[in-house]
Amino acid sequence: MYKNIHIFKQLIDKFVLCFCGFAIVSLVITVTWQVFSRYVLNDPSSWTDELARYLMIWFGLSGASYLFGKNGHLAITLFVGAVKPAFQKYCYLVINLVSISFINVAMVKGGLQLIGRTTTQLSPALQLPMSYVYLILPISGVLMTIYIILNTLEIFTKPAPSRG
């Protein structure tokens, strides 16, 4: 089971990294065009600043989701380190359950409510529904939840190291 979990997690990693790569390349192109149009053409583009801002939001939250998959997020390990090794995985379980609860209330539920409130609100330059911008909140919340569940399952299904 551990191997299947690991393969599934790698598949999600590739998807998120591809999206982040697309977002960062788009961000660089957008900002480069903004600088070129402002300083070379003396006619600043009105939409590039807004698009760059939205791309940065999507890139940041997607990258944060990826960090959850790699256990690279900010964590307080003092408590877990003070517990006997036999009980550490249960501490991680409690921490992960608390994290999932917060993520689902704040990002998924709150994000969906925010999307519902902003469907008719349009962005100034792009005339894009603001709900599209805020859609990343529940998406990244779901991704974080999936990663936390997979990380927890890996902890409990990881084979014991063989003694040779």
Number of domains within the chain: 1
Task: Report the amino acid identity of residue 44.
Answer: P
Residue 38 falls inside a structural domain? yes
CA–CA dist 161, 73 (Å, integer): 26
Tokens of 100: 């999932």
C-alpha pair distances (Å), 54 with each of 44, 45, 63, 70, 156? 18, 16, 14, 25, 38
pTM of the predicted protein model: 0.89
pLDDT in tens, 1-26: 888 998 999 999 999 999 999 999 99
CA–CA dist 143, 70 (Å, integer): 12
Q: Is the pLDDT of residue 74 over 80?
A: no
The confidence score (pLDDT) of residue 162 equals 67
Domain boundaries, position 61: 2-157
Residue 73 falls inside a structural domain? yes
pLDDT in tens, 137-156: 999 999 999 999 999 999 88
Of residues 164 and 115, which shows the higher confidence score? 115
